[in-house]
Amino acid sequence: MIALINARGGSKGILGKNKKILIDKPLIQYTIETALKSKYISEIVISTDDHDIIKIAELFGINVPFVRPDYLASDTANQLDVIKYSIEYINTKKNVSNQNYILLQPTCPLRSEVDIDNSIEIFLKGNYDSVISVTEVGSRHPATCYYENNGFLTSMFQDAQGVNRQNFQNIFWRNGSIYIFSESTIKNFNSIFGKNIGFIQMPEERSFNLDDNMDWSILESYLKLKNK
**Which whole number is the average pLDDT over 171-178?**
94
What pLDDT is recorded for position 61?
Answer: 92
Tally Cβ neighbours within 10 Å of residue 22. Answer: 17
What pLDDT is recorded for position 144?
Answer: 79
pLDDT of 160 above 70:
no
Q: What is the DSSP string of the chain?
A: -EEEEE--S--SSSTTGGGSEETTEEHHHHHHHHHHH-SS--EEEEEBS-HHHHHHHHHTT-----BPPGGGSSTT--HHHHHHHHHHHHHHHHT--S-EEEE--TT-TT--HHHHHHHHHHHHHS--SEEEEEEE-TTS-GGG-EEEETTEEEES-GGGTT--GGGSPP-EEEEEEEEEEEHHHHHHHSSSS-SSEEEEE--GGG-----SHHHHHHHHHHHHHHH-
Domain ranges (residues) in the chain: 2-137+170-227
User: pLDDT, tens digit, for every residue of 128-145?
Assistant: 999 999 999 877 777 778
Measure Cα distances from 194 to 79, 148, 152, 185 in Å. 16, 34, 39, 6
The one-letter code for the residue type at 21 is: I
Of the candidates 129, 104, 121, the one whose C-alpha atom is nearest the C-alpha of residue 200 is: 121
Most confident of 95-99, 143-147, 215-219: 215-219
Measure Cα distances from 189 to 33, 115, 183 in Å. 31, 26, 10
CATH superfamily to which 2-137+170-227 belongs:
Spore Coat Polysaccharide Biosynthesis Protein SpsA; Chain A (3.90.550.10)
**Which whole number is the average pLDDT over 166-170?**
70
User: pLDDT, tens digit, for every residue of 24-81?
Assistant: 999 999 999 999 999 999 999 999 999 999 999 999 999 888 999 888 888 788 999 9
Cα 181–chain centre separation:
13
**45: β partners:** 4
What pLDDT is recorded for position 96?
Answer: 79
Question: Between these two residues, 198 and 169, which has the higher pLDDT value?
Answer: 198
Which pTM value belongs to this model?
0.90
Phi, psi of 126 (to 5 degrees): -105, 170
**Strand pairing of 172-182 and 130-136?**
antiparallel
What pLDDT is recorded for position 50?
Answer: 92
pLDDT band per the 50, 70, 90 thresholds, residue 16: confident
